[in-house]
């Protein structure tokens, strides 16, 4: 049952790749038929920077602010995924399990409060 | 438009001449009218037939039951199995034919939408802003998106010198994968879901986070400051809003007790209630967070034209840029479908699905959610990045987690308490609405405890120059 259903997803995956390939292929074909222009020159191929020359490469260091949010995301997303098995079985389980789930999230919410107090959620 | 009230300028005469020439050459408006009326008449006749056959009980599970194409597939499989073919070939065929038909169906739904979607969006936005919108290409401008696609295909594709060539090629294709793959678990009718996964909700969450990869590939590979900035902003926003989405879907799973999308729809149909009535905060959080997830206004800071040119696809040109623009519309109806399935009862409408095909009901709901998206886009300005992140982390996440646990308590009471369902569900709805409103107000008090909310700060002119006083004096 499971391989059958995921096999269907796999077939849709190949179509999902083929679908956006189609217009790009047509565009390439138009180039082969000399309908679409292809006249590169150094200025055209330069990195766009609103009319001035681009200063340096952008492959380098970046504002650390974004990574703090990414760390918070990793913690919370993993936590929520752990809660899904509990959510599915919740109605059959005893009520004590609910308090354990509250405790589990509570510990992580303490982390959120800590990050908040440390001003990691402000955008400076 | 009444042309007789206005003086005929050379321009308007030219336009009128052009229109009439086009109309005479193609006869398109009449053709469209005829096609529409034929479709309407066909719909009415088929509905009457369906109604007659449902009442007389002839329709259940027959291959010509067009309320549910799954029936045709089941009959086809039965025919193949009973035709005396080699069993291995027969099982391959019974698997492959429905799968390929279904996959083609999904891709053609998305592709067809990409052909009329841009026109619909521009037209609706124009109506909101009291202007005409595209109405020249074809009848009512219907061929506008096709013309745009043709134009984009003829444009030169420039690969900048500094770009990473492989990574630069991949994103326009990778960005389409979540937009199409997300349709797999959505049920269109009882037997008509492409891949009814047991872990449907988890699959949806996993697939929706794939978009981040394509965005970052685009931003990084372009080697452009604007692109990288746009990609970083988009990623920060998308990952922040993924948590409210997961938590609100957790509330759905807590009530329905299943991660299977068809069972979530069946639960709503059996209880005779939509989940948006039971857990309104989760539904609204899902709606707002998904506008961030798919980069739509008001949350499109990743491609804010006024700040960073075109965001993560600044360096893309021709058809590749067109794919980035098209995928936004594809994602919009995917989110509409998910919203309808999780919170608006999916393909059911309080028993109407017996008479009208379920997929038409679902399509109507998708269209309404999409209209809401366009409405939001026409109404709200773009939010700032810090406002968006603050809203996600300081408001949506704590409040939706608290309300999720409230839903958990209610759900266990619902199972144990042997009350009539309208009473218990009505109580749950009341408690949840009250809790959502109350918690929102309390949390706002906590967040803005240093700010005096009752008196908004007066504009600087009024404060400095005493504008109100001056006006009173002037008026006498």
Q: CB-CB: which of B184, B389, B408 is closest to A98? A: B408
Using CB atoms and an 8 Å cut-off, which of residues 141-160 of chain B contact chain A? 149, 152-160
- B207 belongs to a structural domain: yes
Beta-carbon separation of B243 and A77 below 8 A? yes
- Phi then psi dihedrals of residue B442, to 5 deg: -60, -45
Q: CB-CB: which of A15, A63, A87 is closest to B103? A: A15
- B17 belongs to a structural domain: yes
Looking at the fold, whether B127 and B186 belong to one and the same domain comes out as: no
Interface test with A, best of B118, B146, B148, B195 (most A CBs within 10 A): B195
Nearest Cα of chain A lies from the Cα of B233 at a distance, in angstroms, of 8
Q: Which domain holds residue A22?
A: 1-60
| Cα three-residue angle B293-B299-B399, rounded to 5 degrees | 70
Chain B CA closest to residue A20: B173
Beta-carbon separation of B247 and A80 below 8 A? yes
Omega before residue B32 within 30° of 0, cis:
no
> Could you tell me if B152 and B319 are in contact, meaning their C-beta atoms sit under 8 angstroms apart?
yes
Using CB atoms and an 8 Å cut-off, which of residues 47-106 of chain B contact chain A? 95, 99-100, 102-104, 106
Looking at the fold, whether B175 and B291 belong to one and the same domain comes out as: yes
> Could you tell me if A123 and B233 are in contact, meaning their C-beta atoms sit under 8 angstroms apart?
no
Question: What does pLDDT average to over chain B?
Answer: 82
Nearest Cα of chain A lies from the Cα of B229 at a distance, in angstroms, of 9
Closest C-alpha to B111, from B77, B141, B75, B145: B145
Beta-carbon separation of A37 and B393 below 8 A? no
Chain B CA closest to residue A57: B223
Average pLDDT over residues B289-301: 81
Report DSSP state, residue B193. Answer: B
Looking at the fold, whether B200 and B58 belong to one and the same domain comes out as: no
Chain B CA closest to residue A1: B197
pLDDT of B1: 45
pLDDT of B55: 74
Nearest Cα of chain B lies from the Cα of A113 at a distance, in angstroms, of 10
Looking at the fold, whether B240 and B274 belong to one and the same domain comes out as: yes
Interface test with A, best of B238, B308, B388, B408 (most A CBs within 10 A): B408
Question: Helices H, strands E: what count in chain B?
Answer: 22, 0
Tally of structural domains, chain A: 2
Looking at the fold, whether A53 and A78 belong to one and the same domain comes out as: no
Give the end of a domain, one of B81, B110, B141: B141
Report d(CA B305, CA B311) in Å as an integer.
Answer: 7
Looking at the fold, whether A43 and A95 belong to one and the same domain comes out as: no
Average pLDDT over residues B186-213: 87
Looking at the fold, whether B59 and B163 belong to one and the same domain comes out as: no
Higher pLDDT, B454 or B217: B217
Looking at the fold, whether A55 and A67 belong to one and the same domain comes out as: no
pLDDT of B28: 53
Distance between alpha carbon B167 and the CA centroid of its chain, in Å? Answer: 28
Half-sphere exposure of residue B63, counting CA atoms within 13 Å on the CB side? 8
Question: What does pLDDT average to over chain A?
Answer: 83
Residue A64 reports pLDDT greater than 70? yes
Q: What is the DSSP string of B432-474?
A: HHHHHHHHHHHHHHHHTTTS-SSSPPPPHHHHHH-HHHHHHHH
Looking at the fold, whether B71 and B212 belong to one and the same domain comes out as: no
Looking at the fold, whether A7 and A21 belong to one and the same domain comes out as: yes
Give the end of a domain, one of A60, A83, A109: A60
Q: SS3 helix, strand, coil % of chain B, rounded to 5?
A: 75, 0, 25
Band of pLDDT at residue B336, cut at 50, 70 and 90: very high
> Could you tell me if B98 and B77 are in contact, meaning their C-beta atoms sit under 8 angstroms apart?
yes
* Residue-wise pLDDT tens digits, B66-91: 777 777 788 888 888 888 778 888 88
Higher pLDDT, B134 or B421: B134
Looking at the fold, whether B252 and B132 belong to one and the same domain comes out as: no
Beta-carbon separation of B103 and A7 below 8 A? no
Helix axes B225-256, B200-208, angle to 10 degrees: 170
Looking at the fold, whether B50 and B195 belong to one and the same domain comes out as: no
Looking at the fold, whether A76 and A55 belong to one and the same domain comes out as: no
Looking at the fold, whether A67 and A124 belong to one and the same domain comes out as: yes
Looking at the fold, whether B232 and B176 belong to one and the same domain comes out as: yes
Chain A CA closest to residue B326: A20
Interface test with B, best of A1, A4, A12 (most B CBs within 10 A): A12
List of residues 6+ apart from B290 with CB closer than 8 A = B241, B245, B335, B338, B339
Q: Which domain holds residue B348?
A: 155-418
> Could you tell me if A58 and B221 are in contact, meaning their C-beta atoms sit under 8 angstroms apart?
no
Beta-carbon separation of A8 and B194 below 8 A? yes
Looking at the fold, whether A91 and A115 belong to one and the same domain comes out as: yes
* Residue-wise pLDDT tens digits, A81-92: 888 888 888 888
Looking at the fold, whether A75 and A34 belong to one and the same domain comes out as: no
Higher pLDDT, B281 or B77: B281
Beta-carbon separation of B224 and A54 below 8 A? yes
Closest C-alpha to B432, from B413, B416, B446, B453: B413
Q: Go through B300-310 and write b for each residue having 16 or more CB atoms within 10 A of its CB, e for each that does not.
A: bbbbbeeebbb
Chain A CA closest to residue B174: A17
Average pLDDT over residues A92-118: 85
Nearest Cα of chain A lies from the Cα of B370 at a distance, in angstroms, of 22
- B433 belongs to a structural domain: no
Looking at the fold, whether B122 and B211 belong to one and the same domain comes out as: no
Report d(CA B462, CA B263) in Å as an integer.
Answer: 59
Looking at the fold, whether A38 and A77 belong to one and the same domain comes out as: no
Nearest Cα of chain B lies from the Cα of A46 at a distance, in angstroms, of 6
Give the end of a domain, one of B399, B418, B437: B418
Looking at the fold, whether A84 and A54 belong to one and the same domain comes out as: no
pLDDT of B466: 59
- B407 belongs to a structural domain: yes
Report d(CA B377, CA B296) in Å as an integer.
Answer: 8
Would you say the ipTM is above 0.85? yes
Higher pLDDT, B167 or B454: B167
Q: Which residues of A touch B405 (CB under 8 A)?
A: 98, 101-102, 105
Higher pLDDT, B21 or A78: A78
Interface test with A, best of B319, B328, B384, B443 (most A CBs within 10 A): B319
Looking at the fold, whether A75 and A38 belong to one and the same domain comes out as: no
Looking at the fold, whether A15 and A71 belong to one and the same domain comes out as: no
Looking at the fold, whether B227 and B295 belong to one and the same domain comes out as: yes
Q: What is the DSSP string of B373-432?
A: HHHHHHHPPPPPHHHHHHIIIIIIHHHHHHHHHHHHHHHHHHHH----HHHHHHHHHHHH
* Residue-wise pLDDT tens digits, B349-384: 887 777 778 888 899 999 999 999 999 888 888 887
> Could you tell me if B232 and A60 are in contact, meaning their C-beta atoms sit under 8 angstroms apart?
no
Using CB atoms and an 8 Å cut-off, which of residues 183-242 of chain B contact chain A? 183-184, 194-198, 201-203, 205, 220, 222-228, 232, 235-236, 239-240, 242
Looking at the fold, whether B347 and B369 belong to one and the same domain comes out as: yes
- Phi then psi dihedrals of residue B193, to 5 deg: -125, 140
Q: Go through B169-186 and write b for each residue having 16 or more CB atoms within 10 A of its CB, e for each that does not.
A: bebbbbbbbbbbbbbbbb
Tally of structural domains, chain B: 2
Q: CB-CB: which of A58, A66, A83 is closest to B225? A: A58
Q: Is B94 left (phi over 0), alpha (psi -120 to 50) or beta?
A: alpha
Q: Which residues of A touch B259 (CB under 8 A)?
A: 84, 88
**CA quadruple B357, B362, B365, B366: dihedral positive or negative?**
negative
Report d(CA A38, CA B82) in Å as an integer.
Answer: 57
Band of pLDDT at residue B228, cut at 50, 70 and 90: confident
Give the end of a domain, one of B81, B107, B141: B141
Residue B152 reports pLDDT greater than 80? yes
Q: What is the CATH number of the domain that holds A108?
A: 1.20.58.1610
Q: CB-CB: which of B153, B257, B393 is closest to A88? A: B257
Q: CB-CB: which of B106, B228, B236 is closest to A12? A: B106
Give the end of a domain, one of A20, A45, A60: A60
Average pLDDT over residues B157-179: 86
Average pLDDT over residues B12-36: 63
Interface test with A, best of B237, B390, B401, B446 (most A CBs within 10 A): B401
List of residues 6+ apart from B459 with CB closer than 8 A = B467
Q: Which residues of A touch B414 (CB under 8 A)?
A: 91
| Cα three-residue angle B119-B315-B144, rounded to 5 degrees | 15
Structure tokens at B111: 């592709």
């Amino acid at each position: 049952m499971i391989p059958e259903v995921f096999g269907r997803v796999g077939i849709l995956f190949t179509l999902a790749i083929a679908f956006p390939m189609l217009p790009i292929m047509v565009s390439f074909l138009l180039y082969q038929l000399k309908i679409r222009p292809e006249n590169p020159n150094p200025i055209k191929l330069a990195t766009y920077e609103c009319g001035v020359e681009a200063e340096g490469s952008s492959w380098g260091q970046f504002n650390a602010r974004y990574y703090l949010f990414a760390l918070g995301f990793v913690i919370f997303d993993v936590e929520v995924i752990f809660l899904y098995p509990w959510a599915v079985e919740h109605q059959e389980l005893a009520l004590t399990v609910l308090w354990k789930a509250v405790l589990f999230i509570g510990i992580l919410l303490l982390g959120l409060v800590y990050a908040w107090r440390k001003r990691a959620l402000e955008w400076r | 438009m009444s042309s007789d009230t206005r003086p005929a300028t050379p321009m308007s005469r030219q336009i009128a001449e052009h229109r009439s020439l086009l109309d005479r050459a193609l006869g398109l408006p009449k053709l469209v009218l005829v096609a529409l009326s034929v479709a309407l008449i066909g719909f009415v006749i088929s509905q009457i037939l369906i109604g007659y056959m449902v009442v007389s009980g002839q329709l259940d599970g027959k291959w010509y039951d067009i309320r549910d194409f799954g029936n045709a597939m089941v009959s086809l499989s039965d025919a193949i199995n009973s035709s005396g073919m080699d069993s291995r070939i027969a099982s391959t065929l019974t698997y492959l034919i429905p799968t390929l038909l279904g996959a083609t169906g999904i891709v053609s739904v998305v592709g067809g939408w990409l052909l009329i979607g841009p026109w619909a969006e521009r037209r609706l936005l124009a109506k909101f802003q009291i202007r005409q919108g595209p109405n020249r290409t074809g009848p009512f401008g219907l061929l506008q998106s096709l013309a745009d696609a043709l134009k984009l295909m003829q444009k030169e594709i420039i690969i900048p010198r500094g770009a990473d060539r492989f990574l630069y090629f991949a994103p326009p294709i990778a960005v389409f994968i979540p937009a199409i793959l997300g349709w797999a678990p959505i049920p269109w009718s009882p037997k008509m879901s492409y891949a009814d996964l047991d872990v449907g909700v988890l699959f949806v969450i996993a697939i929706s986070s794939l978009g981040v990869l394509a965005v970052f590939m685009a931003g990084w590979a372009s080697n452009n400051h604007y692109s990288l900035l746009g990609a970083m902003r988009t990623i920060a926003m998308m990952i922040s809003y993924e948590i409210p989405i997961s938590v609100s879907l957790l509330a759905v799973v807590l009530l329905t007790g299943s991660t299977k999308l068809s069972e979530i729809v069946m639960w709503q149909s059996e209880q005779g209630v939509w989940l948006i009535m039971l857990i309104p905060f989760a539904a609204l959080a899902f709606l707002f967070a998904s506008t961030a997830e798919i980069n739509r206004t008001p949350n499109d800071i990743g491609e804010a034209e006024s700040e960073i040119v075109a965001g993560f696809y600044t360096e893309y040109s021709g058809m590749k840029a067109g794919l980035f623009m098209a995928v936004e519309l594809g994602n919009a109806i995917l989110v509409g479908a998910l919203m309808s399935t999780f919170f608006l009862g999916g393909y059911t409408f309080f028993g109407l699905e017996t008479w009208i095909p379920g997929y038409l009901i679902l399509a109507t709901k998708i269209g309404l959610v999409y209209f809401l998206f366009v409405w939001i886009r026409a109404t709200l300005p773009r939010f700032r990045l810090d406002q968006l992140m603050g809203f996600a982390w300081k408001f949506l996440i704590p409040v939706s987690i608290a309300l999720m646990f409230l839903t958990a308590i209610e759900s266990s009471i619902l199972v144990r308490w042997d009350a009539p369902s309208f009473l218990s569900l009505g109580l749950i709805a009341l408690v949840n609405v009250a809790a959502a409103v109350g918690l929102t107000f309390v949390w706002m008090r906590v967040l803005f405890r240093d700010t005096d909310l009752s008196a908004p700060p007066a504009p600087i002119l009024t404060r400095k120059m005493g504008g109100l006083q001056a006006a009173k004096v002037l008026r006498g």
